[in-house]
Amino acid sequence: MEVYAVFKGLLFLLVAIVGVPGNLAIIGSLSWRSCSSDKLLPVELILWNLSFANTILASTRGLPAAMFMLFGTRLNDDAGCKIVVYLSRISRGMAFCLTCVLSCVQCVTLLPPSSKWAHIKQNVPKYTFPVTFFLWLLYVIMEIELLTFSGHQTNYTNPELIFNYGYCSSIIPTIVFYYVYGFLFFVRDLIVVGLMTIASVYILLVLFQHRKQVYDIRNSNQKSDVEIRAAKTVVSLVTMYIVFFGVENTIWLYQIAVSKIIHPMVTDVQHFFSICYTFFFPILIITSNKKIQNVFKCSQKQSTHNDTVSAFP
């Protein structure tokens, strides 16, 4: 086995073994909060869906890639390959859009009462779930056409139009479709990144304002501190997303605008950067969200209490 293949496999495996359990831990803790207390806040609902999307993405891109590179495991039927590629495309798009929605919601949350847009803040809890549901439905429909472009075959008549991931392949039917779909894909991501950037810039402006101006957003000092901490977390998430998916989209733009063939090594790098977010997202959320940390602490205390009771019947 080549050193390059082992190195790639270990990187993908690391992302999978951290990303999947980490995102599942966030899903579990937020689900426990929703069952044991009040409804989830808009930001928490978005984080739940974002963690779910990251779990699917790490499971359908990171894990299959690691299994192929380390053990040669392939998806040996078209149906399985189509489903894996389809789910990875949906989850990738949802992670992208939900991060944008998260930054916009946090931006609206920080609006001062004197702003002419302040009334939007009251409608955020009402529209968060419908918007999230609509995005899932939209991507399920948008990506369904890609089901016809995936397969497990390894012999092709036009190897220049194949994204070969090893465990599975995506087949581009024509060069015209390749360019049209490629530029539409890039423009879509560019618009979403633009919205995220605008929202993050506003959040940063609020964070750098005088403390007294922050107090005007909320009367409670404690609530202000919570909002500032949440805003910093959102800006960090957006920054990570722009870096990782910026690299991915730069490679994609290079492939459709400059390169005349799809290089396997370039595809590997693009594939890897598309899932890096699933690795860092749970680490940042768990270490910065005190509510999720409290759920883990309560669970640990409950487990310790049960062990003590069982030891002394």
Domain ranges of the chain: 3-299
Using alpha carbons, select from 39, 204, 19 the residue that is nearest to residue 110: 204
* Confidence (pTM): 0.84
CA proximity to 233, closest of 182, 286, 303: 286
Longest dimension (CA), the chain: 73
pLDDT in tens, 43-83: 899 999 999 999 999 999 889 888 888 887 777 677 778 88
- First and final C-alpha spacing in the chain: 55
- Domain spanning 3-299, CATH architecture: Up-down Bundle (1.20)
Closest of 169, 214, 193, 180 to residue 68, by C-alpha: 169
Secondary structure element (H or E) that encloses residue 257, with its range = helix 221-257
- How confident is the model at residue 53, as a pLDDT? 95
pLDDT given at position 313: 43
3-state secondary structure 189-251: HHHHHHHHHHHHHHHHHHHCCCHHHHHCCCCCHHHHHHHHHHHHHHHHHHHHHHHHHHHHHHH
pLDDT at 310: 39
Q: What is the pLDDT at residue 148? A: 66
Task: Collect all residues with Cβ–Cβ distance below 8 Å to 164 and sequence separation of at least 6.
Answer: 154, 264, 267
Name the strand (E) or helix (H) holding 162. strand 162-164
Residues 6+ apart with CB under 8 A from 110: 202, 203, 206, 217, 227, 231
Q: Collect the ranges in the chain with pLDDT lower than 50.
A: 154, 210, 214, 217-223, 305-313
